[in-house]
Amino acid sequence: MHRIVFFGTSDFAVPHLEALVQDSRFHVVAVVTQPDKPVGRHAELTPPPVKRAAERYTLPTFQPEKLSELNSILPPDLDVGVVVSYGKILPPWLLELPARGFVNVHASLLPRWRGPSPIHAAIAAGDTHTGVTVMKLDEAMDHGPILATDGTSILDTDTGGSLHDRLAGMGATLLPNILDGYLSGKTGPTTQDHTKATYCKILTRENGKIDWFKTAHEIERQVRAYDPWPGSWTELSGKRLKILAVKIRPNNASFSPGQRFVWKKRPTVGCGQGTTVELVTVQPEGKKPMSGEEFIRGNKTWSE
């Protein structure tokens, strides 16, 4: 039975941890996750999803503020470490602790979209295909050799949330057999083609502000990519208006980027290159989500 330490934090990591715990070939001897963080309007201290999952299986769990704390508390004789959406880059000394190093599951087909937001990046860029990669970690970000991949089409209806859930399931299905094959010597790594690498960045809520000089197609993809987080928004009368869903409408070069108008009683905005989008679902600041038509009825100044 392979002795594993699991590093993970977010919802994406949970099914991977569960898959390993439920597989008789593996013994998860410890879980490492991020510290509890304040969440919501009342800043309530909240454990990360992986901690809650580890508690359900009564697994020893560590939440170090600094990774150096692990040097003296991790169990000995580890066969391998597994990292899935942990949120920190592991230092060289830690990568060398388990006998076979660390294996990572990344939510893209590497070397495309190295970095922390590959799901958002793939949808926003208009990619038609993505997937998950199981790789061996090295010291550089998402740079190590590949053990296996599994791909899926990106649908025109996919949001960041729907693609996240699909890829999490794919990764959790792929990981156990690939990990066992790697540890038993049946699966060998393949070097990435580093010349084809692309990169994505950490996203914040500010990244969700819509740039109306982009084309309607780019904006439509952004709205889907950033749903449910970090969300897309624009400013209206000094307040944020969340844009939850849009539709591309016929080009109309008479409206400049950011210019608001009404099209068939629906709120519509001019975008780059003479394109336009209808705001299908919006959420005014401090209110519940509503249809664009509902919003127009309560906002007579939309096109002024």
Cα 169 from Cα 226, distance rounded (Å): 20
The answer to whether 9 and 34 are in contact (CB under 8 A) is yes
Tokens of 216: 């309607």
Task: Over range 102-115, report the average pLDDT.
Answer: 98
| Mean pLDDT, range 52-60, rounded to an integer | 98
- pLDDT (tens digit, 9 = 90+) per residue, 294-303? 999 988 778 7
pLDDT at 38 over 90: no
Residues 160 and 119: beta-carbon distance below 8 Å: yes
Domains of the chain: 2-196 (3.40.50.170), 205-297 (3.10.25.10)
Q: What pLDDT does residue 72 have?
A: 87
Please compute the mean of the pLDDT values over residues 270-284 and round it to a whole number.
97
**Element holding 177 (H helix, E strand):** helix 160-183
State yes or no: cis peptide before 92, omega within 30 of 0: no
How would you list the strands of the sheet with 80-84, edge to edge? 61-62, 26-32, 2-8, 80-84, 102-106, 129-136, 146-153
* CB burial readout 121-153, b (16+ within 10 A) else e: bbbbbebeebbbbbbbbbeeebbbebbbbeebe
Average pLDDT for 208-218: 98
Give the per-residue pLDDT at 161: 98
Beta bridge partners of 102: 81
167-211 tens-digit pLDDT = 999 999 999 999 999 999 998 999 999 999 999 999 999 999 999
Categorize the per-residue pLDDT at 125 as very low, low, confident or very high, splitting at 50, 70 and 90.
very high
What is the total residue count of the chain?
304
Cβ-based burial of 114 (10 A; exposed 0-12, middle 13-18, buried ≥19) = buried
In the chain, % of residues over pLDDT 70 = 100
Q: How far apart are CA 219 and CA 268, in angstroms?
A: 13
At 304 the pLDDT is 62
Q: Is residue 50 very low, low, confident or very high in pLDDT (cuts 50, 70, 90)? A: very high
| String of DSSP letters for 190-210 | B---GGG--B-----GGGGB-
Percent of the chain's residues with pLDDT above 90: 91
* Mean per-residue pLDDT over the chain, rounded: 96
Structure tokens belonging to residue 9: 């934090």
Angle between helices 160-183 and 14-21 (to 10 degrees): 30
Mean pLDDT over residues 36-41, rounded?
84
Distance, CA of 17 to CA of 13 (rounded, Å): 6
pLDDT at residue number 303: 75
Q: Which whole-number Å values give the CA distances from 127 to 82, 167, 170, 199, 214, in the listed order?
A: 28, 15, 18, 14, 17
pLDDT mean over 271-275: 97
Q: CA 4 to CA 75: how far, in whole Å?
A: 10
* Per-residue model confidence (pLDDT) at position 93: 95
Most trustworthy range by pLDDT among 67-81, 211-225, 250-264? 211-225
